[in-house]
Amino acid sequence: MSSLHLSSISPEAQIGQGVKIGPFCVIESDVVVGDRCRLESRVVLRNGTRLGPDNQIFEGAVLGGPPQHVHMPENPGLVIIGAGNVIREHVTIHRPLHASGTTRIGDNNLLMVNAHIAHDCQLGSNMIIANNTMLAGHVEAADRAYISGGVAVHQFCRVGAYAMLGGQAHVVQDVPPYVTVDGLSSCIVGINVVGLRRAGFSSEDILQIKKAYRVIYRSELKWQEILDILRTEFAQGPAALFYSFLAATKRGIVSERRPPGRVSLKLLRPESDQEVEIIPIEELPHRQAAAG
């Protein structure tokens, strides 16, 4: 272990082999730091923090802070962080509300500058969480999810595996696996095909995922009918993840950014502001073409 005298390290903290600690760090007593971790300057590891091996923590990060809650618990649980994570400047990760709970981060994740992971969150592995992202309490995010900058995820929401959330999206319901959420509308705009191809999914797998997606969002079936089809017709392969995810939702799922099949617009006629013309939305392109 290498450290400078300017850091405050409790003698009761458990520090592994090959750990590098920069100046002005604070490591409290009930802390475990795994082998070969690297802490840059001004890192704070509060009581209840457990770091696996090979994590790199950058300047100003605070891990294991007490939960931000109006009823501050006397004995919060643990922050458990896996191996090989990169946690950039000023990231905050908070302890869970109850002593038996955990705030858990998996392996090989990249948490960018100023990301906030609230109490009781459960994050998978190989995720990217970009700058200024805010995950409220009890949020769950699965493996290889990509959460862009400035995204806010409401408490108790879930983000499925391989989902991609666009910048500044406001997520207030569950995001199914494999989908893309548009940052402007905060609605789903299709399958994250680019992410799936980069992850090595075959063309056949992606085709099955697209078919299951159409059942969910474009079949106009009732919810139980959708679940029945997913359970019976997509029981194998990656598309099977849709059923297990949707069957467990408690908040519902984010809607698709598509206009309803039959929509009419009321347009004011120029000769009178009292008269209106009702035309189907599908006729708008023809009207625009005729108008030159």
Are residues 208 and 167 both part of a single domain?
no
Question: Identity (one letter) of the amino acid at 46?
Answer: R
Is the per-residue pLDDT at 85 higher than 80?
yes
Are residues 210 and 187 both part of a single domain?
no
Cα–Cα distance list, 26 to 7, 21, 63, 113, 157 (Å): 6, 10, 11, 19, 33
Determine the structural domain holding residue 222 and report its residue range: 201-247
Question: Is 119 annotated in the active site?
Answer: yes
CB 240 within 8 A of CB 234: yes
At a CB cut-off of 8 Å and minimum separation 6, what does 113 contact? 88, 89, 90, 91, 131, 132
CB 188 within 8 A of CB 254: yes
Residue 75: alpha-carbon gap to chain centroid: 27
Question: Is 120 annotated in the active site?
Answer: yes
Are residues 190 and 209 both part of a single domain?
no
Question: Is 205 annotated in the active site?
Answer: no
Spot the catalytic one: 64, 77, 124, 137. 137
Is the per-residue pLDDT at 127 higher than 70?
yes
Spot the catalytic one: 52, 90, 107, 120. 120
Mean pLDDT of 176-181: 98
Look at residue 264 in the predicted model and tell me its pLDDT.
Answer: 47
pLDDT tens profile 183-210: 999 999 999 999 999 999 999 999 999 9
Per the prediction, the chain carries an average pLDDT of 92
Look at residue 266 in the predicted model and tell me its pLDDT.
Answer: 47
Task: Examine residue 160 and state whether it is found in any structural domain, yes or no.
Answer: yes
pTM, whole model, 2 decimals? 0.87
Mean pLDDT of 249-263: 80
Task: Examine residue 253 and state whether it is found in any structural domain, yes or no.
Answer: no
Task: Examine residue 108 and state whether it is found in any structural domain, yes or no.
Answer: yes
Give me the percent of the chain exceeding a pLDDT of 90.
85
Are residues 132 and 50 both part of a single domain?
yes
